[in-house]
Structure 1
Amino acid sequence: MAKYQIYMVRHGRTWFNRYNKMQGWSDTPLAPDGIEGAKVAAKALKSVNFAAAFSSDARRAIDTCKLIVDENVNHDKITPQKLMEFREQFYGYFEGMNSPEAWFMVGQPHGASTFSDIIAKHGLDATKDFMKEADPFHDAENAEEYWTRINRGFERIDKIAHDGDKILLVSHGTTIRSITDRYNAGNFDITQSPRNSSLTMLERDDGFNRVTGYNQILGE
Structure 2
Amino acid sequence: MARTKNPRTRALLVERAAQMLARREPVTLRALVAGTEVSTMAVYTYFDGIDGLWRAVRQEGFTRLAAELATVRTGPDPVRDLAALGAGYLANAVANPDLYRAMFDVTAELEDAPAAGATLGLLIAAAARAREAGRFAADTDPEATALRMWVIGHGLASLVATGPLPDAALAHGEPLLTALFVAAGDEPARCSRSVARGWRSRRPG
Structure with the bigger RCO (C-alpha within 8 Å, sep 6+) is 1
**Which has the greater radius of gyration?**
2
TM-score, normalised by the number of residues in structure 2? 0.28
TM-score, normalised by the number of residues in structure 1? 0.27
- Structure ranking higher in helix proportion: 2
